[in-house]
Structure 1
């Protein structure tokens, strides 16, 4: 086996010859520079150096071999012999001490911890929305425009919050949305999510761009019976997606959730600004002639296929026998089309306000379905809602309008921050469980099936709903 020394590695530090050391192996990334989703500069800054830390933060261990191919492997290297890079440390937040986990009393408390304890880069990636972040804020505000109409004397001494999601038991009508790059927040990454939701009896949806491998995530479950779904970003090369589907099937996932609300990556200014501030000594000509200043989101999702249409449902059925969920429905018209294609479920989502700003909140889309196409609710297709859920009362409002369950996204990452990891996620889920149980008792619902349309008043929200549709 060829051994490469540090001096030889250092010679290959240009666009013409770009080598990287990753966990004791040297790779030739020269031919991949222009294909890198985040632009070539992100790789060139590490050319001829040890890129292990940067690589591990964003990518699965086996990705480099799958992407570059075994022929790009130049040999092994003793990492300790490579000169360490002079890194300018990111500005640190004033407060790094996390409060006691027991002092977290609401989901929003975790967001405050995240802002104080995450690195600026991680905080910008996790918390940012598109453009002016209007949709991100309105997703949550939509729930405030719906009020509850409680029923009394209903024997609510014992409240059951359990439900079934795609035929699988869940202790709560919630699941963890497919958040990506969780290692930015905690070293255990998506494995911490798997362990936490398993202990709380919930279901995890795993992101295509997870920072941990699907095999490691499945190994982190508390039992072999724990259900995990997998979210698919379709690759520009669909054969790569087919191979990945076969891989996650072997790993044991129980459904495929195809994301369709982000054919391109949204303009997340805070995320991109966090990266642009790093390169103080930029070349002005490069800054205007190339698109090298990209944030974490664009750097990791440039492979997404923007040329999909509804035929993709047929392609998926050919690629897998698993249940299919379409994630990213934003109108009643598309909800009906999905119903006609007989998919197993849809997620009403605007990608957490991270794709197109001023896209309408998912709760309004659910209200559209309730008004114009109620016949699709409770039939062969389950409806999920993703975005803006922060309280147990939010869950009740979505269920009252016909949703089966809601997705929890950013709060999962917030609750992992500050060193809480798995325990923070469990605490966050427990808070939602307590709020849900309490408020189900208040409205007179002994189980989720008792939650009905008459228990909410949507008059204020209806003002924001489209006036008419053509189905």
Structure 2
């Protein structure tokens, strides 16, 4: 194979000729520029350089070969000795030395404070941001503050059992780690650290990072515009041993995440004004990685999924009681009440409010063949209790997972975060008089304050 000199690579940094070095191999991406889901500019920003670090944040190693094909490989190059590189990511070993002792983390919010100080500005903007004015992102958490606990006394709570059943699998906690994108922005081990504690990483690597062969992994699916690609990937995750498919439906398009958009590192001081107003710009990390999503799905997608897999099917992104009932009628195995962490449509109602709608208008679907999960805003053990009291099977933890693995903590930070939630859950279950999750009852919560936000009537 040809040897490409650094001086030659640097010349190919335009739309007319765009080369990249990725892990010592030089690729011609010129013909792929307009096909890139995130837009051509994301590739052009690193054209003529060693783009390995930037590439790794978003893609697994084999994707470049699959996408560009062998004909696009121009040769090899010694990138370490002769090429400028993108800014180096923080060394996790050095980062953990600068972070507070892990033992000093005593609440979930403590990790967020560390994350803001230790993440790169780009990573922080992507992980912490919500859509528009971030009202939904804030309300996801504050909704729990509008619900009060009504504890019962003189119950035997000397031993508190937090275990439950999620889609037929035993879980020691009514908690699962939510699917979170681009974990490698936070720590080099990415989703593998999440698997080791409890993507953009290959599914085979994630399965290999589990702490036990029976550790359950569910897979979040964004349906591709080309459904045959989705079908191929479903077969791949089946072979890898995934236990269920979670189809995400609350983000047919990407929300306007302004802080993420503003975080772009390259500013064109010679921008052409006409191009700015006439060409759609995809500058944020979120938009850069979601151009493949199929926005034309309808309820027939459930039938398509059933024909494509025998795995349990969960619909992630239910935001109203009407859609919860529709999912029930379509006999899915579970639903996730979620507004995508407030990252898609701002002012979308909090998931806990949607759960209250179901409790009020369609209680018959709770506790039946379909499990209900709540994702968004969980920060305390008391939050978990409130969701379970209203009929949820378990809750998902999203941003806190990424916050807790920042600062070099990696999987140990995630385990510490879950340990904190476990302790809070056990303590507060004892306070309300529940020795196991089945004893957490609707009568143990006062929802009157939250009910004021609930829709007045619905048609089912």
Task: Please classify the TM superposition score into its range, dividing by the shorter chain length.
Answer: over 0.9
> In 2, Cα distance between the equivalents of 1:335 and 1:279?
44
Equivalences for residues 267-286 of structure 1 within 5 A: 267-275=256-264, 278-285=266-273, 286=275
Task: Give the count of matched residue pairs.
Answer: 455
Which structure 2 residues correspond to residues 175-254 of structure 1 after superposition, within 5 A?
175-197=176-198, 210-254=199-243
- The 5-angstrom pairing of residues 337-356 of structure 1 reads 337-356=326-345
Q: Identify the residue that residue 37 of structure 2 maps to in structure 1.
A: 37
Structure 2 distance, partners of 1:293, 1:321, is: 37
CA RMSD of aligned residues (A): 1.8
In structure 2, what is the Cα distance between the partners aligned to 1:159 and 1:86?
Answer: 51
Q: Which residue of 1 aligns with 2:93?
A: none
State the match for 2:16 in structure 1. Answer: 16
Q: 5+ residue gaps in structure 2? A: 91-95
Q: 1:423 and 2:412 equivalent?
A: yes
SS at match of 1:383: strand
Residues 178-199 of structure 1: CA deviation (Å, up to 9, x unaligned):
00111111111111111111xx
Q: Distance in 2 between matches of 1:231 and 1:318?
A: 18
Q: Secondary structure at the match of 1:265?
A: coil
Structure 2 CA distance for partners of 1:46 and 1:466, relative to 1, 3 Å? same
Residue 422 of structure 1 deviates from its aligned partner by 0.7
Deviations 1:422-455 (A, max 9, x none): 1100000000000000000011101000001011
Confirm or deny: 8 A CA contact 1:6 1:81 kept in the other structure.
Answer: no
Q: 1:18 offset after TM fit, Å?
A: 1.2
CA distance in 1, matches of 2:60, 2:66: 10
Equivalent-residue separation in structure 2 for 1:21 and 1:354 (angstroms): 33
Structure 1 SS opposite 2:98: coil
Q: 179-188 or 324-333, which moves further after superposition? A: 179-188
Counterpart residue number, 1:206: none
CA–CA distance in 2 between the matches of 1:267 and 1:4?
40
Question: Cα–Cα, structure 1 residues 335 and 84, in superposed 2: closer, same or farther, change >3 Å?
Answer: same
Mapped to 2, the partners of 1:187 and 1:364 lie a distance apart of 36
Take 1:231 and 1:119, find their aligned partners in 2: how far apart are those partners? Answer: 26
User: Which residue is 1:394 aligned to?
Assistant: 383
Mapped partners of 2:325, 2:381: distance in 1: 28
Structure 1 segments unaligned to the other structure (5+ residues): 198-209
Equivalent positions of 1:15-164 (< 5 A) are 15-85=15-85, 97-164=98-165
CA contact (8 A) 1:37 1:301 kept: yes
TM-score (norm 2): 0.96
State how far apart, in whole Å, the 2-side matches of 1:282 and 1:254 are.
51
Distance in 2 (alpha carbons) for counterparts of 1:182 and 1:112: 18
Which has the higher mean CA deviation after the structures are superposed, 36-45 or 392-401?
36-45
Is the Cα–Cα contact under 8 Å of residues 50 and 82 in structure 1 kept in the other structure? Answer: no
Maintained 8 Å contact 1:96/1:117: no
Note the alpha carbon deviations across 1:64-121, whole angstroms, 9 max, x for none.
122222332223222235431586999xxxx992111111111011111111111111
How far apart are the structure 1 equivalents of 2:386 and 2:80?
A: 56
Residue 317 of structure 2: which of 325, 328, 351 is its match? 328
- Per-residue deviation at 1:291? 3.0
What is the SS of the residue equivalent to 1:112?
helix
Residue 290 (structure 2) pairs with residue 289 (structure 1): no
The CA deviation at 1:280 is 4.9
Find runs of 4+ consecutive structure 1 residues off by over 3 angstroms.
85-90
